[in-house]
Structure 1
């Protein structure tokens, strides 16, 4: 027990354990966000990354969410790539963290002339600021205008081959199995509050088995192996309970858990802690997936650092997950 306090009567403080020694190093532990769309955020949101200790980030410019036209033309995706390239250096100079890019072709909506886009992508992959291909991966159902399964597989496979040829890792978009809503929203609303996407415009599924989200991941792994891309060069983002066992036990890929919008996907620091307990930290990362089209939290990764410790994860393991693993895979700057 602590020494008596000069209080009128004993308080909680008189009964506390003196041996508790909080790890102050967690306050200043640098961290890396391996999947976000921070170039679409406000200046203030990016400053929140800097204020909370972000050392480096990987901004992905591949999402059809930012193109107003459906179907999407190849030039629309080129615009997304060019916009991110144009603004990346200014973001670094404003906020001081290292900002790198991932460029890819997302299959969530059909893209016209994908071969034209893939041919151009070869030159983009040679840029120093581009350190990853993605996000990409087969999706069970698309938005507005779906993409046939064989066409999706061809586009994903071609990107795997480009990554192999350029020595780049791939960020996989793995479909989530969303959490059950406490209560459905009214009919006709057309959106999921918190997500600025016309949710009622989904297309018929191209995968209709018992577990289409996991089937999509299996197809991505098949494409990875067909392309001759090493497992260790693939990071399965949006990992969740539905795909963790398969990815951990049947592949050597890295898994990144998206915690920036837990309200939507149901994954949080407790899930990450459980995976570390079961499989160890060597192939685990976390990301925020922060973007301007949905309710996300730039502080999420910093909060997770504290939460992981509270859940019993060792400081060295936390450091490996939030800093060392991302550096090893993506080649971010060392301290």
Structure 2
């Protein structure tokens, strides 16, 4: 069955993972900028990383006839030094012009700190100034509800932000309704040890899946994660009795409808 992987950190995956995605039916993979597992020490390090996202990874994916898109930002985990973060932000407009870049992301909060809030708001303004889609990271574990509420409050106050052009990722049972009710898009992240397992994600879809503003993703990275989490969620949906048209909406048509708001995204329904 066709699907789109809308959030995968392929720089940390092997080339075999690209092949596995294609064999499973993946038609495009979208890669947000993220924390590399360590704090980078220079803006030049970010520049090289952005080049990797916009030049090298698309070539690696193309070997398997897979479209690769990316998002550009400084992740909240590296936003505690505002002066350094602003050096990185100054690099972003150059990369927003690249042919495979969908927007600004994944920005957001990690510890809900004052500095994270400042840098989040500055990157939201950058997205507004350049008419970009926004992909938002929400905190994990006990800070998720507070962080999601803070993020939504900031987005609602920010002039020029259209909720329909913002995807708030890593939603869980206690945050998904808040995100959807206010007109934002919601992303359910599938992880084997944290966030949502495929059965838990399908529980959420059974309760909130009537909306056309929800998708699933694996967010696979260098940690314990699964690049084939989405096909496993498709299998779980079939076990629960979802028909192929509904499954196609969750895993293909919904992502296309959000991402095609960026004219660079070339897949169609």
Which of residues 78, 85, 98 is equivalent to 1:127? 98
Find the residue that maps to 1:153 and give its secondary structure: helix
2:213 is matched with 283
Which of residues 228, 246, 249 is equivalent to 1:320? 249
Q: How many residue pairs get matched?
A: 260
2:145 is matched with 214
TM-score calculated relative to the size of structure 2: 0.89
Which of residues 136, 140, 145 is equivalent to 2:111? 140
Find the residue that maps to 1:263 and give its secondary structure: coil
Note the C-alpha offset of 1:310.
1.2
TM-score calculated relative to the size of structure 1: 0.72
Find the residue that maps to 1:95 and give its secondary structure: coil
Runs of 5+ unmatched residues, structure 1: 1-28, 142-148, 178-210
Contact between 2:185 and 2:213, CA under 8 Å: does it hold in 1? yes
Contact between 1:290 and 1:298, CA under 8 Å: does it hold in 2? yes
Which of residues 176, 182, 186 is equivalent to 2:140? 176
Note the C-alpha offset of 1:68.
5.5
Find the residue that maps to 1:255 and give its secondary structure: strand
2:185 is matched with 254
Which of residues 95, 119, 131 is equivalent to 1:167? 131
Range moving further from structure 2, 103-112 or 122-131: 103-112
Structure (1/2) with the larger helix percentage = 2
| In structure 1, distance between residues paired with 2:32 and 2:64 | 18
- Within 5 Å, give how 1:278-317 maps onto structure 2: 278-279=207-208, 280-291=210-221, 293-317=222-246
- Within 5 Å, give how 1:33-72 maps onto structure 2: 33-65=5-37, 67=38, 69=40, 72=41
Instruction: Give the structure with higher Rg (CA).
Output: 1
- Within 5 Å, give how 1:228-239 maps onto structure 2: 228-239=160-171
Contact between 2:186 and 2:213, CA under 8 Å: does it hold in 1? yes
1:41-90 deviation digits (Å, cap 9, x = unpaired): 1111121111111101101223242x464xx4333222221222221331
1:183-231 deviation digits (Å, cap 9, x = unpaired): xxxxxxxxxxxxxxxxxxxxxxxxxxxx532111122112222142111
1:277-305 deviation digits (Å, cap 9, x = unpaired): 322141110001111x2122222111111
| In structure 2, distance between residues paired with 1:54 and 1:241 | 27
Find the residue that maps to 1:235 and give its secondary structure: strand
Which of residues 10, 14, 31 is equivalent to 2:3? 31
1:334 is matched with 268
Which of residues 261, 264, 271 is equivalent to 2:194? 264
| In structure 2, distance between residues paired with 1:75 and 1:215 | 33
| In structure 2, distance between residues paired with 1:81 and 1:42 | 19
Find the residue that maps to 1:101 and give its secondary structure: strand
Structure 1 pair 167–298 and aligned structure 2 pair: CA distance change class (3 A): same
Find the residue that maps to 2:32 and give its secondary structure: strand
Structure 1 pair 140–242 and aligned structure 2 pair: CA distance change class (3 A): farther
| In structure 2, distance between residues paired with 1:125 and 1:321 | 27
Where does structure 1 differ by over 3 angstroms across 4 or more consecutive aligned residues? none
2:122 is matched with 158
Contact between 1:57 and 1:99, CA under 8 Å: does it hold in 2? yes
